[in-house]
Amino acid sequence: MNKVMRLVSIQFWAMFADILSFKSNKLKKSKIIYAGLVLFALFLGAMSFFYCFAIGSSLKMFDSIDILPPMMMAVTCLIVIVTTMNKVKGTIFGFKDYDMVMALPVSTSGIVASRLILLYAFNMVFVFIVMIPMMIAYGVLAKPSISFYLISSLLLFFIPLIPIIVASILGTAIAYAASKFRHSNLINVVVSFAFLIGFMVISTTTGDTEAELAKVSEMLIKKVNGIYPLASLYTKAVCEFDRKALLFFLAISVLVFLLFSFAIGKVFKKLNTSIVTSQARANYKMQKLKQATPIKALYIKELKRYFSSSVYVLNTGFGVVILTIGVIALCFIDLDKIIGEPQALAMISKSAPVMISFCAIMCCTTMASISLEGRSLWIIKSMPISAKQIFLAKIAVNLTIVFPVVIDSIILCFILKTGYLDSLFMILFPIACTVYVAVFGLLINLKLPNFTWTTETVVVKQSAATMIVVFTSMFIVGLPMIMIAIMPTVQPAYLLGGYTALLILVTIGLYHSLMKWGADRFAKL
């Protein structure tokens, strides 16, 4: 056990250093990043509290406040499953230091357990962010006894165990099935997208109007209890202080976790080999080769790099995919009939540019594209190409990935029957946001690169560069909505027009900075 915990500790700090992109001699920078991270966690916690409090208040009106803890527990479990599923390849299997770790005198089950504990440690962040605000909100609304706080605090640490196992099984199954195909990453992406979209469709078909909330929640809890029996044990333990349920919950969670570690330990090497081994045919015969210009070759190489990483595609392409599916669905839906009131339709039209831009701005591929060069950075650095060409190729890939958004915007203009001016900004604002984030993402990644990552997940999802770009982008795209809300007398199209012009000017400034400062910085990497 000591060896496992030592392994966890080394891997945890290595990953944490990767996430924050700091080295030991950059203490000042790491302190700033630490502070930013704490502030960000507090912000998410506050958001979670308001969400829990709003739901709890509605539930209280229907005398169903006891639904809140299991409901949020189910939400936590789903978050853990969805976010962990695509981390399986890279964390449990196919991690870069596999050879070194496997050569250590630690049992295979111990190594599997160390990787699972690593996943557990990162998932605890989600658990704290969702469940602690829930406990406070429930405490304010239901005024439970001290036992509630004691039991729910204890159970916090056991909530993610089974979801991690479920996600690991799903992730392993997807990665294993995909490995049987030559284009395994593409299969991985398609299956993962199908799973996530299916999950979203199921969760949105329940309806969520306030009047139906209690009924829907009860139904949801029944459903969750049916699918996930531990949820009912959780409800009984936390709300009814049932000791037997509490013990069962703890015992089942720990036992399943240990059993899974042990079982995977038995087949770990075999599974790892299957998942990470590429399909090789060794039957190539020289053929005619296609020629391309250097810039086109760079662009194609970047595009192939993008689609070679399932975690990269899933995290940066989701907004575009979901928007496109939504727009296709809207083509077959009578919006007037569903929404009813024409005012509501007008509201949707007004907020549509921001919604579309949100989907576009979340698809920033450049924020990780420098880091993803990893140890092969020497290739582009030793090639007879300028930094400008490299940057343009990376930006072009970002624009290509987001291009369907432009088509979506045009279709939405027809569906929502927007006027000329509104249509203009429905198309122009997302484009401005996309170009801005592509340039800004690259600048931030040049400032905070990480070439020594052990899994792509770290740079794509958890790096300091990614966090800065994602959250500043949310602010950039959300600002017009705030402006429209606080200036109701000004035409939204004028506000959006002015804001778009400002964003274009900012982007031009950032582009110049990229070509000057960015090129110098790239030379020093």
Partner 1 sequence: MLKIENFSKSYKGGKKAVDSLSLEINKGDIYGFIGHNGAGKTTTIRAIVGVLDFEEGEIWIDGISIRKDPVACKKRTAYIPDNPDLYEHLTGIGYLNFIGDIFEVNKFDRETLIEKYADAFELTSNLGDPISSYSHGMKQKLTVIAALIHRPKLLVLDEPFVGLDPKAAHTLKTIMTELCEGGSAIFFSTHVLEVAEKLCNKIAIIKGGKLVTCGLTGDVKGNQSLEDVFMELIEA
Which of 436, 437, 462 has the alpha carbon at shortest distance from 448? 462
Q: Is residue 291 part of the contact set for partner 1 (CB under 8 A)? A: yes
Binding mask 22-41 for partner 1 (x = CB under 8 A): ---x----------------
Binding mask 170-199 for partner 1 (x = CB under 8 A): ---------------x--------------
The residue type found at 211 is: A
Taking CB under 8 A as the criterion, the residue among 28, 143, 285, 337 binding partner 1 is: 285
Rg of the chain, C-alpha, whole Å: 25
Q: Is residue 275 part of the contact set for partner 1 (CB under 8 A)? A: no
Non-local CB neighbours of 313 within 8 Å, separated by 6+ positions: 185, 189, 306, 307
Which of 244, 75, 37, 213 has the alpha carbon at shortest distance from 151? 244
Taking CB under 8 A as the criterion, the residue among 2, 204, 205, 382 binding partner 1 is: 382
The residue type found at 481 is: M
Q: Which is nearer to partner 1, 205 or 278 (CB)?
A: 278
Number of H helices, E strands in the chain: 24, 0
Taking CB under 8 A as the criterion, the residue among 2, 146, 284, 486 binding partner 1 is: 284
Distance between CA atoms of residues 395 and 314, nearest Å: 18
Q: Which is nearer to partner 1, 294 or 419 (CB)?
A: 294
Segment contacting partner 1 by CB under 8 A, of 121-129, 166-174, 254-262, 368-376: 368-376
- Quick check: helix, strand or coil at residue 213? helix
Q: Which is nearer to partner 1, 284 or 332 (CB)?
A: 284
Distance between CA atoms of residues 299 and 293, nearest Å: 10
Taking CB under 8 A as the criterion, the residue among 379, 482, 490, 505 binding partner 1 is: 379
Q: Is 4 in contact with 114 (CB distance < 8 Å)?
A: yes
Segment contacting partner 1 by CB under 8 A, of 2-10, 123-131, 203-211, 285-293: 285-293
Segment contacting partner 1 by CB under 8 A, of 163-171, 294-302, 403-411, 491-499: 294-302
Q: Which is nearer to partner 1, 377 or 406 (CB)?
A: 377
Segment contacting partner 1 by CB under 8 A, of 46-54, 199-207, 222-230, 377-385: 377-385
Count how many residues are written for the chain. 525
Tell me which residue has tokens 């012009």: 501
Identify any residues that bridge with 89 across adjacent strands, giving them in sequence order: 93
Q: Is residue 376 part of the contact set for partner 1 (CB under 8 A)? A: yes
Identify any residues that bridge with 356 across adjacent strands, giving them in sequence order: none
Segment contacting partner 1 by CB under 8 A, of 335-343, 381-389, 418-426, 427-435: 381-389
Taking CB under 8 A as the criterion, the residue among 31, 35, 244, 294 binding partner 1 is: 294
Taking CB under 8 A as the criterion, the residue among 24, 278, 343, 489 binding partner 1 is: 278
Q: Which is nearer to partner 1, 157 or 181 (CB)?
A: 181
Taking CB under 8 A as the criterion, the residue among 29, 96, 223, 381 binding partner 1 is: 381
Q: Which is nearer to partner 1, 393 or 477 (CB)?
A: 393
Q: Count the Cβ atoms, other than its own, within 10 Å of residue 359.
A: 23
Distance between CA atoms of residues 87 and 282, nearest Å: 31
Distance between CA atoms of residues 395 and 431, nearest Å: 13
Distance between CA atoms of residues 351 and 492, nearest Å: 9
Q: What angle do CA 206, 209, 214 make, to 5 degrees?
A: 75
Segment contacting partner 1 by CB under 8 A, of 115-123, 163-171, 238-246, 290-298: 290-298
Q: Which is nearer to partner 1, 294 or 509 (CB)?
A: 294
Helices (H), 277-375: 294-308, 310-331, 335-339, 342-361, 366-369
Taking CB under 8 A as the criterion, the residue among 289, 337, 342, 343 binding partner 1 is: 289
The residue type found at 200 is: M
Residue 373 C-beta: closest distance to partner 1, Å: 9
The residue type found at 67 is: I
- What is the DSSP track for 36-60? HHHHHHHHHHHHHHHHHHHHHHHHH
Segment contacting partner 1 by CB under 8 A, of 156-164, 189-197, 302-310, 490-498: 302-310
Distance between CA atoms of residues 313 and 321, nearest Å: 10
Distance between CA atoms of residues 480 and 486, nearest Å: 10
Helix axes 492-513, 464-486, angle to 10 degrees: 150
At 76, give phi and psi (nearest 5°). Answer: -60, -45
Under rule CB under 8 A, which residues in 105-134 are in contact with partner 1?
none
Taking CB under 8 A as the criterion, the residue among 332, 378, 420, 475 binding partner 1 is: 378
Taking CB under 8 A as the criterion, the residue among 384, 475, 488, 489 binding partner 1 is: 384
Segment contacting partner 1 by CB under 8 A, of 144-152, 198-206, 303-311, 478-486: 303-311
Q: Which is nearer to partner 1, 303 or 330 (CB)?
A: 303
Non-local CB neighbours of 395 within 8 Å, separated by 6+ positions: 366, 435, 438, 439, 442
- Interface with partner 1: number of residues (CB under 8 A): 41
Taking CB under 8 A as the criterion, the residue among 100, 227, 282, 485 binding partner 1 is: 282
Q: Which is nearer to partner 1, 89 or 350 (CB)?
A: 89
Interface with partner 1 by CB under 8 A: which residues? Answer: 25, 185, 277-286, 288-294, 296-298, 300-301, 304-305, 308-309, 374-376, 378-379, 381-386, 523-524
